[in-house]
Chains A and B, each alone.
Chain A
């Protein structure tokens, strides 16, 4: 099986439909197929293709070109420091590098994305291309963000990504006026899956390589965007601009999916109020699972938002239910299944689940079950709630403490904009709780005792932080992922 099947089917069934708008470039499915075949010939069978640049028409062509050539596509974070990019490229090995890198590496041929495209456009050979038939071939290697350690190269094989697309997207389901605005970068799993989903659905994608809320709103209006995927921080910033402008005028917009991090309740509530005709979907997934594994759909959003029953209303903070072709299980530390409402470790099993890393590092799989390392629980109606990463759990004197509960309580203090809790090494407890607090604009800094009293009033005494520090802003990566390791370092240097 091979991913290029998706493009082949789209190009056969709707060759003249527009596949992609990227600044002034417009490509039909037929052209995308032709350029991808040209790319496959350019890459050849014995090297990978790495992509180290912001999103452009060259990214989906590199993805499908690699599939046609039967070699892995390796998109890398172009925002990393040059020495980090170089270190990752050394791990990739021989490749055609589309993009910029300062390093001159052996067995790496480098080409600028625009030059790559221009080069492919001169191709006048046969567009029919045999699909590689290698069983279990690697389609994509994605470096994890490495917020807690060295980036790992997650391996996604053709069968994983195809299972995800066939199981979750209906072929040609999109009408011709549909257009999806893509803001996730190519090196993120959603940047890969959006290309595949949109191609199979026959939906035009419009790329916005460099996100600002103003640029997103302008492009959404100009291109009659009907749907978009956003990470929570992006939606938060769009809503903030909407509030300044007294509303958003996006009549074509029908749906917004969000994921990639925890969505604050206040943000989704404000977004639903500001865009009452837009259908919201919360998508939860991981790189290792070929993107989405659970969804909270538009109807469930509306029911939860309209309910006065706290148990139903809190579903707005849920990631919904697993995809139909997947199984999930929540287990205790000893491996037993958790009771309803009990928080444990989330496991997932299904054809789209890989859980494999290059070099065989940390293969978190037994009997097909993949340990997501996310903490989670299920409510009585089967809605899935996430409770942070297992790696983020603070173990204080043998007691597991979720940072989220402390952060939520702190954020409910009137002076606090946001807060992050992390474990810091402690001789007596193993780990002590350290919190970094960002104050709201114009609020006076409260005494630490006031915040401690605020926590003590709502949580057990084991949740009282040993270190409290006020900082200007929390460190996030460009996808809005909180960099807890950096917070730990900040708190320890200040101690």
Chain B
């Protein structure tokens, strides 16, 4: 599906919830635990598939290797995020001193 910044997505197999921060202008197959993410919180069924079960952490940002897209995990869960079959990576942010 085509996504836009600000859209909230829910996992179908775990508690993971993400918000789209940045996506390219094309159809994306975004999944969690190997199962497509859904727009509305539906029934949770089954569990994450092997290889897509590393988990997500609340507050972390996830992007693809080329940094063409970015998602914010707003609730963590047992599944891992993937787009078009490839796992997303947790974006490693430089730890900054508090400035305000």
Contacts and interface: CB of A to CB of B under 8 A. Distances in A.
Contact of A170 (B8, B75, B93): B93
Given A5-B19, A283-B100, 9 more contacts: A9-B74, A135-B6, A159-B5, A180-B98, A194-B100, A197-B98, A259-B100, A281-B99, A292-B99
Interface in B16-49: 19, 21
Interface in B42-100: 58-61, 72, 74-75, 93-100
The binding surface of chain B is classed by DSSP as: loop
Interface in A127-151: 131, 133, 135
Contact of A279 (B19, B61, B97): B97
Given A255-B97, A259-B99, A291-B100, A135 B4 contact: yes
A258 B68 CA distance: 35
A12 B59 CA distance: 12
Interface string A1-39: 110010011001100000000000000000000000000
A190 interface: yes
B98 A281 contact: yes
Contacts, number: 80
B98 A166 contact: no
Contacts of A412: none
A78 B8 CA distance: 38
Given A13-B58, A166-B61, A171-B58, A292 B100 contact: yes
A283 B99 contact: yes
Contacts of B98: 169, 180, 197, 201, 203, 227, 255, 257, 281
B100 A197 contact: yes
B97 A324 contact: no
Contact of B100 (A12, A133, A193, A297): A193
30 contacts: A1-B5, A1-B6, A2-B6, A5-B74, A9-B58, A12-B74, A12-B75, A13-B59, A131-B8, A135-B4, A135-B5, A159-B5, A166-B21, A166-B72, A167-B93, A171-B59, A172-B58, A190-B100, A193-B100, A197-B100, A203-B98, A255-B97, A255-B98, A259-B100, A283-B99, A285-B99, A292-B99, A297-B96, A297-B97, A324-B96
A203 B100 CA distance: 12
In the A-B complex, the 5 residue pairs with the smallest Cβ-Cβ separation, listed nearest first, are A171-B59, A283-B99, A1-B6, A281-B97, A292-B99
B95 A170 contact: yes
Nearest to B61: A166
Taking each of B58, B72, B96, which has the highest tally of chain A beta carbons within 10 Å of its own beta carbon? B96
A216 B73 CA distance: 37
A285 B96 CA distance: 15
Contacts of B6: 1-2, 133, 135
Contacts of A8: 74
A: contact size bracket: 35 or more
Contacts of B99: 168, 197, 229, 257, 259, 281, 283, 285, 291-292, 295
Main secondary structure of the interface of A (DSSP, over half): mixed
Nearest to A158: B6
Interface string A285-308: 100000110010110000000000
A323 interface: yes
A170 B58 CA distance: 10
Nearest to B97: A281
Interface of B: 4-6, 8, 19, 21, 58-61, 72, 74-75, 93-100
A323 B97 CA distance: 11
Interface of A: 1-2, 5, 8-9, 12-13, 131, 133, 135, 159, 166-172, 180, 190, 193-194, 197, 200-201, 203, 227, 229, 255, 257, 259, 279, 281, 283, 285, 291-292, 295, 297-298, 323-324
A309 to B, nearest CB: 23
A405 B76 CA distance: 53
Contacts of B60: 171
Contacts of A159: 5
Nearest to B94: A324
A324 B93 CA distance: 9
A229 B98 CA distance: 9
A442 to B, nearest CB: 39
Contacts of B93: 167, 170, 324
Contacts of A1: 5-6, 19, 21
A68 to B, nearest CB: 14
A170 B60 CA distance: 8
Given A166-B72, A171-B59, A295 B97 contact: yes
Contacts of B5: 1, 135, 159
A190 B8 CA distance: 29
B48 to A, nearest CB: 21
Nearest to B5: A1
Given A9-B58, A9-B59, A135-B5, A295 B96 contact: yes
